[in-house]
Amino acid sequence: MEKLYHIGFDDGHGAQYALLPGDPGRVERIASYLNNPRFYHQSREYTAWLGECPDICPGIRPDETVLVMSTGMGGPSAAIAIEELFQTGVRTFIRIGTCGGMALPVTGGDIVIANAAIRMEGTTREYVPIEFPAVADLDVTNALVEAAKECGARWHAGVVHCKDSFYGQHQPGRMPIGPELTRKWDAWIKAGCLASEMESAALYIAAQVLRARAGCVLSVVWNQERAKQGLDNPQSHDPGAAIEIAVKAVAKLIERDRSEDL
């Protein structure tokens, strides 16, 4: 096949599983959790490395190729990444990202596993009507939850808020549409939304339309709602726990996929 226009490579990598951080700077670190990590390609915001599944599940042969590629920030570039990786043969996607807590029990350093996303963004509206939910694949989500338990992480599973404007969230008062942003933000919290980030909705809807599997594990940086209420509000900028959980989850999925094929 021809090389894809945005990501810049074809199906020569042979991977059916992909780990997707937003930040290109995190790709090499994530790949280091795999066997035989090596640089693969770089184009625009899409930096890609390859590795083999680590031998962390009993009985699994650690020879399955896993691709690690950044998606950049926001839904448009994430959707392009998923569309083009799918064309190269990837069928399972796990986002490894960061988020800000919204529910008060969610604090910096926690893990959030997003089983669904509020579509407060624009990309997915050009896929399906707004009434269609952005939902994670159940097998991927279950693997992430199992991995979080095994890693001893403090974790939460539930709905996250996915938006396009970082500063619309953090400085709504200076936006002409600020009152609407604040009203909806308060509604999401009242409904039990756990955290906010910028790529999960595009990941889930694009994967749904393509009939691929997708899940998302997020490292909580801090919680602005705790800060508003004067509560203890630790900050964490280390995504190590989320990476470990995602790698363990992909190994579980590979093991189960192979056992089903036998």
The CA-to-CA distance between both ends of the chain, in Å, stands at 29
pTM of model > 0.85 = yes
Can you tell me the distance from the alpha carbon of 222 to that of 200, in angstroms, rounded to the nearest whole number? 18
Can you tell me the distance from the alpha carbon of 43 to that of 214, in angstroms, rounded to the nearest whole number? 23
Closest to 93 measured CA to CA, from 15, 38, 18, 26: 18
| Helix, strand counts (H, E) of the chain | 8, 10
Q: What is the pLDDT of residue 149?
A: 98
Q: What is the pLDDT of residue 62?
A: 59
Check: CB of residue 68 under 8 Å from CB of residue 18. Answer: yes
Closest to 184 measured CA to CA, from 197, 205, 194, 169: 169
**Which residues are within 8 A (CB) of 230 and not within 5 positions of it... i.e. 6 or more apart?**
none
Closest to 217 measured CA to CA, from 245, 237, 189: 245
| Number of Cβ within a 10 Å radius of residue 59 | 8
| Number of Cβ within a 10 Å radius of residue 158 | 15
| Number of Cβ within a 10 Å radius of residue 172 | 18
Between 53-62, 119-128, 169-178, 236-245, the lowest mean confidence (pLDDT) is in: 53-62
Q: Is the pLDDT of residue 58 over 60?
A: no
Ordered structural domains, the chain, with CATH? 11-257 (3.40.50.1580)
Average pLDDT over residues 138-157: 98
Q: What is the pLDDT of residue 260?
A: 82
The model's pLDDT over 161-212, given as tens digits with 9 standing for 90+, comes to 999 999 999 999 999 999 999 999 999 999 999 999 999 999 999 999 999 9
Average pLDDT over residues 210-220: 98
Can you tell me the distance from the alpha carbon of 160 to that of 202, in angstroms, rounded to the nearest whole number? 13
Average pLDDT over residues 122-142: 98
Q: For all residues of the chain together, what is the average pLDDT?
A: 95
The model's pLDDT over 222-232, given as tens digits with 9 standing for 90+, comes to 999 999 999 99
Backbone angles phi, psi at 192, to 5 degrees: 105, 15
Three-state SS sequence of 101-138: ECCCCCCCCCEEEEEEEEEECCHHHHCCCCCCCEECCH
Between 53-57, 95-99, 206-210, the lowest mean confidence (pLDDT) is in: 53-57
Closest to 160 measured CA to CA, from 97, 94, 115: 115
Q: What is the pLDDT of residue 55?
A: 72
The model's pLDDT over 1-13, given as tens digits with 9 standing for 90+, comes to 899 999 999 999 9
Question: Which H or E run contains 49?
Answer: strand 46-52
